[in-house]
Structure 1
Amino acid sequence: MKLSKKQFKQDFEERLASKFATNLTKAGHQETYATLASVVKHYYSSIWTADNQYRDEVGKKQAYYFSIEFLPGKLLKSNLLNLGILDTVRDGLADLGIDLDEVAKVEPDMAIGNGGLGRLASCFMDSLASTGFPANGNGIRYRYGLFKQKIIDGYQVELPDSWLDNGNPWEVRRADKAVEINFGGEVWLEDDGKGKLLPHYKNQERVLAVPYDTPMIGFENTTVNNMCLWRSEVPQDLDLKFQNLDYMRQTSMLSAELYPDDSNYDGRLLRLKQEYFFVSAGLQRILRHYKFTQKKDIRRIGDYIAVHINDTHPALCVPEFMRLLIDEYGVGWNRAWDTTVKVMSYTNHTILSEALEKWPEDMVKNLLPRLYQIIVEIDRRRTAELLPKVGATLVHNTRIIKDGQIHMANLAIIGSHSTNGVAKLHSDLLKDVELHDFYEIYPERFNNKTNGIADRRWIQISNERLSGVLDETIGKTWRHNLNDLSLLKHFKDDEKILKQLQMAKYDNKLRLAALIQERNGITVNPEAIFDVQIKRLHAYKRQLLNVLHILKLYFDLKDEPDLDVVPRVFIFGAKAAPGYHYAKSIIKCINEIANMINNDSDIDDKIKVVFLENYNVSLAEMIIPAANVGEQISLASKEASGTSNMKFMLNGALTMGTLDGANIEIFEAAGEENNFVFGLTKDEVYEYYRNGNYNARDIYEQNPIVYRILNSFIDGTIPNIKSEGREIFDSLTIYNDEYFVLRDFNDYVRAQKDLENLYRNQTAWTKASLMNIANVGRFSSDRTVREYADDIWYIKAKK
Structure 2
Amino acid sequence: MQTVPNPVLECKPIIQVEDDRTGLSIEALKRGFLDNLFYVQGKFSGIATKNDCYMALAYTVRDRLFKRWVDTAETYTKNGSRTVCYLSAEFLMGPHLGNNLINLGIYDQVKQAIEELGLDFYELLEQEEEPGLGNGGLGRLAACYLDSMASLEIPSLGYGIRYEFGIFEQKIQDGWQVEITDKWLRFGNPWDVARPEWSVEVKLGGHTESYVDENDRYRVRWIPFQVVKGIPYDTPILGYKVNTANTLRLWAAEAPESFDFEAFNSGDYVKAVQAKMTSENLSKVLYPNDNVSQGKKLRLAQQIFFVSCSLQDMIRIMKGQKIPLEKFHEKFVIQLNDTHPSIAVAELMRLLVDEYGMEWEQAWEITTKAFAYTNHTLLPEALEKWPLGLFGELLPRHLQIIYEINGRFLDDVRIKFPDDFDRLKRMSLIDESGERYIRMANLACVGSFAINGVAQLHTELLQKDVLHDFYEMYPEKFNNKTNGITPRRFMVLSNPRLCELIDSKIGNTWIKNLHELRQLEAFAEDVEFRHKFRQIKQAIKQDLAEYIKAKNGIDVDANSLFDIQAKRFHEYKRQHLNALHIITLYNRIKANPNIDITPRTFLFGGKAAPGYYIAKLTIKLINSIGEVVNRDPDVRGRLKVVFLEDYSVKFAQRVYPAADLSEQISTAGKEASGTGNMKFALNGALTIGTLDGANVEIREEVGEENFFLFGLTAEEVYAKKAQGYDPMYYYNRDPELKLAIDRISSGFFSHGDANLFKPLLDTLLHRDEYMLLADYRSYIECQEQVSQAYRDVENWTRMAILNVARMGKFSSDRSISDYCEDIWQIQPVKIELSEYLQTDVDRLKIINEESFAI
TM-score above 0.5, yes or no: yes
Q: Say whether the 8 Å CA contact 1:186–1:369 is kept in structure 2.
A: yes
Q: 2-side partners of 1:99 and 1:568: how far apart? A: 34
Residue 401 of structure 1 is matched in structure 2 by: 430
* Paired residues for 1:446-595 under 5 Å: 446-595=478-627
Stretch moving more, 682-691 or 411-420? 682-691
In the TM superposition, residue 244 of structure 1 has moved relative to its aligned partner by: 4.4
In the TM superposition, residue 300 of structure 1 has moved relative to its aligned partner by: 1.2
In the TM superposition, residue 61 of structure 1 has moved relative to its aligned partner by: 0.5
Q: Say whether the 8 Å CA contact 1:473–1:497 is kept in structure 2.
A: no
1:49 aligns with 2:84: no
Give the residue type in structure 2 aligned to 1:401.
I
CA RMSD of aligned residues (A): 1.4
In the TM superposition, residue 396 of structure 1 has moved relative to its aligned partner by: 2.8
Q: 1-side partners of 2:159 and 2:631: how far apart? A: 48
Residue 314 of structure 1 is matched in structure 2 by: 341
Identity of aligned residues (%): 43
Residue 101 of structure 1 is matched in structure 2 by: 122
Residue in structure 1 matching 2:238, options 209, 217, 239: 217
Q: Say whether the 8 Å CA contact 2:203–2:224 is kept in structure 1.
A: no
Give the residue type in structure 2 aligned to 1:783.
R
In the TM superposition, residue 35 of structure 1 has moved relative to its aligned partner by: 0.5
Deviations 1:563-620 (A, max 9, x none): 1111100000011111111111111111111111111111111000000111110111
SS in 2 for 1:452: coil
Residue 142 of structure 1 is matched in structure 2 by: 163
Residue in structure 2 matching 1:645, options 677, 682, 703: 677
Give the residue type in structure 2 aligned to 1:256.
K
Residue in structure 2 matching 1:770, options 777, 801, 809: 801
SS in 1 for 2:745: coil
Give the residue type in structure 1 aligned to 2:463.
K
Deviations 1:363-383 (A, max 9, x none): 111100111111110001112
SS in 2 for 1:346: strand
Q: Say whether the 8 Å CA contact 2:88–2:337 is kept in structure 1.
A: yes
SS in 1 for 2:755: helix
1:618 aligns with 2:650: yes
In the TM superposition, residue 17 of structure 1 has moved relative to its aligned partner by: 2.5
SS in 2 for 1:492: helix
* CA pair 357-203 structure 1, distance change in 2 beyond 3 A: closer
Residue 190 of structure 1 is matched in structure 2 by: 211
Which consecutive residues of structure 1, in runs of 5 or more, have no partner in the other structure?
A: none
Residue in structure 1 matching 2:411, options 363, 368, 384: 384
Q: Say whether the 8 Å CA contact 2:114–2:120 is kept in structure 1.
A: yes
1:262 aligns with 2:283: no
In the TM superposition, residue 722 of structure 1 has moved relative to its aligned partner by: 3.7
In the TM superposition, residue 24 of structure 1 has moved relative to its aligned partner by: 4.6
Give the residue type in structure 1 aligned to 2:668.
A
Give the residue type in structure 2 aligned to 1:8.
L
Q: TM-score, normalised by structure 1?
A: 0.98
Q: 2-side partners of 1:570 and 1:345: how far apart? A: 41
Q: 1-side partners of 2:628 and 2:465: how far apart? A: 44
1:180 aligns with 2:207: no
1:303 aligns with 2:324: no
Q: Say whether the 8 Å CA contact 1:586–1:724 is kept in structure 2.
A: no
Deviations 1:104-157 (A, max 9, x none): 111011021111000000000111101110111111111111211111111111
SS in 2 for 1:630: strand
Q: 2-side partners of 1:44 and 1:574: how far apart? A: 33
Q: 1-side partners of 2:27 and 2:280: how far apart? A: 45
In the TM superposition, residue 248 of structure 1 has moved relative to its aligned partner by: 2.9
In the TM superposition, residue 25 of structure 1 has moved relative to its aligned partner by: 5.9
SS in 2 for 1:602: coil
Q: How many positions carry a matched residue from both structures?
A: 796
Q: TM-score, normalised by structure 2?
A: 0.92
SS in 2 for 1:578: coil
Residue in structure 2 matching 1:740, options 771, 782, 785: 771
Deviations 1:695-731 (A, max 9, x none): 1112111211111110111112112454332112211
Q: 2-side partners of 1:92 and 1:605: how far apart? A: 44
In the TM superposition, residue 4 of structure 1 has moved relative to its aligned partner by: 1.5
Stretch moving more, 703-712 or 628-637? 703-712
SS in 1 for 2:276: helix
Give the residue type in structure 1 aligned to 2:808.
G
Give the residue type in structure 1 aligned to 2:291.
S
1:786 aligns with 2:786: no
SS in 1 for 2:153: coil
Q: Say whether the 8 Å CA contact 2:220–2:354 is kept in structure 1.
A: yes
Residue in structure 2 matching 1:68, options 83, 86, 89: 89
Q: 1-side partners of 2:161 and 2:527: how far apart? A: 50
SS in 2 for 1:225: strand
Moved over 6 A (4+): none
Q: 2-side partners of 1:724 and 1:55: how far apart? A: 59
Deviations 1:644-681 (A, max 9, x none): 00000110000010000000000000011111000000
Q: 1-side partners of 2:651 and 2:677: how far apart? A: 16
Deviations 1:44-99 (A, max 9, x none): 11110011000010112001100001101100000111111111101111111112
In the TM superposition, residue 434 of structure 1 has moved relative to its aligned partner by: 1.4
Q: Say whether the 8 Å CA contact 1:13–1:23 is kept in structure 2.
A: no
Residue in structure 2 matching 1:703, options 734, 744, 769: 734
Deviations 1:745-772 (A, max 9, x none): 1110111011111110110000000000
Q: 2-side partners of 1:406 and 1:542: how far apart? A: 31
Residue 16 of structure 2 is matched in structure 1 by: none
Q: 2-side partners of 1:461 and 1:296: how far apart? A: 41
In the TM superposition, residue 198 of structure 1 has moved relative to its aligned partner by: 2.7
Give the residue type in structure 2 aligned to 1:282.
S
Q: 1-side partners of 2:714 and 2:600: how far apart? A: 30
In the TM superposition, residue 288 of structure 1 has moved relative to its aligned partner by: 1.1
Give the residue type in structure 1 aligned to 2:450.
S
Q: Say whether the 8 Å CA contact 1:177–1:211 is kept in structure 2.
A: yes
1:288 aligns with 2:316: yes
In the TM superposition, residue 13 of structure 1 has moved relative to its aligned partner by: 2.0
